[in-house]
Amino acid sequence: MALTDEAIDKIKQMIISGRVRPGEKLPREADLAAELGLSRNSLREAVKALSLINVLDVRQGDGTYATSLEPSLLLEALSFMVDFHRDDTVLEFLEIRRILEPAATALAAARMPDEDRIELGKVLDAADVNAPVEEFVQADMEFHRLIAVGSCNSVLASLVDNMSVPTARARVWRGMTEPHAKDRTLAEHRAIYNAIIGRDADLARSWATVHIAGIESWLRTALAD
């Protein structure tokens, strides 16, 4: 194992074991290196690497802290990697959405707080089929984001949000080229919303599956053509 990898593993074990808790400050560099049996250079490289993925927060003039370790923060590294997706992988992201979003939608039907259901309805009502397609897609993405948050599962919500971004251009393309695509999207959003309001998890899951599968099916056909 490379020295930097060893240092990363030892710091990770400190956090996992509770030796350092979320938000707490790590010991001084010299003390921490001695405690872990590391060189200060290896420790610095490890701290740099862990700060890049939001496990550690280096505060100049203050010290190094463990972050909150919230899933949304830790999964920002995934968002960074997703930004480098190629156009030929968009279908793969849609496949992942088809797996994740029905589960999130079913959970939202069961768990979403009442005030968030009201907000979801406002986002749906504000969507306008006559709006520019880019604006319509932004409203579309906000609708799906609120549902994911409504699942009350922060890991799932972060994953859904990250998987949604690479499909945005495909959704714009569909809105520009497929007749009545925006009307169909709104109708399916309304069905999903009604199932969530009715707290019908199975129906919400089914409509979400139909909705995402429809986008995926359209894109497969469009790419084949």
Which pair of structure tokens corresponds to residue 35? 């405690």
Which pair of structure tokens corresponds to residue 11? 């710091």
pLDDT at residue 111, as a whole number: 98
pLDDT at residue 116, as a whole number: 97
How many percent of the chain have pLDDT more than 70? 92
**Residue 222 banded pLDDT, cuts 50, 70, 90:** confident
All structural domains of the chain with their residue ranges: 3-69, 74-224
Question: Residue 162: which of 87, 68, 96 has the closest Cα?
Answer: 96
Q: Which residues of 24-55 are buried (b: 16+ CB within 10 A; e: fewer)?
A: eebbeeeebbeebebeeebbbbbbebbeebbb
3-69 has which fold?
Answer: Arc Repressor Mutant, subunit A (1.10.10)
**Residue 190 banded pLDDT, cuts 50, 70, 90:** very high
pLDDT at residue 148, as a whole number: 96
The CATH number of the structural domain formed by 74-224 is 1.20.120.530
Q: Average pLDDT of 33-40?
A: 89
pLDDT at 87 over 60: no
Please state the pTM of the whole predicted model.
Answer: 0.71
φ, ψ of residue 146 in degrees (nearest 5): -65, -35
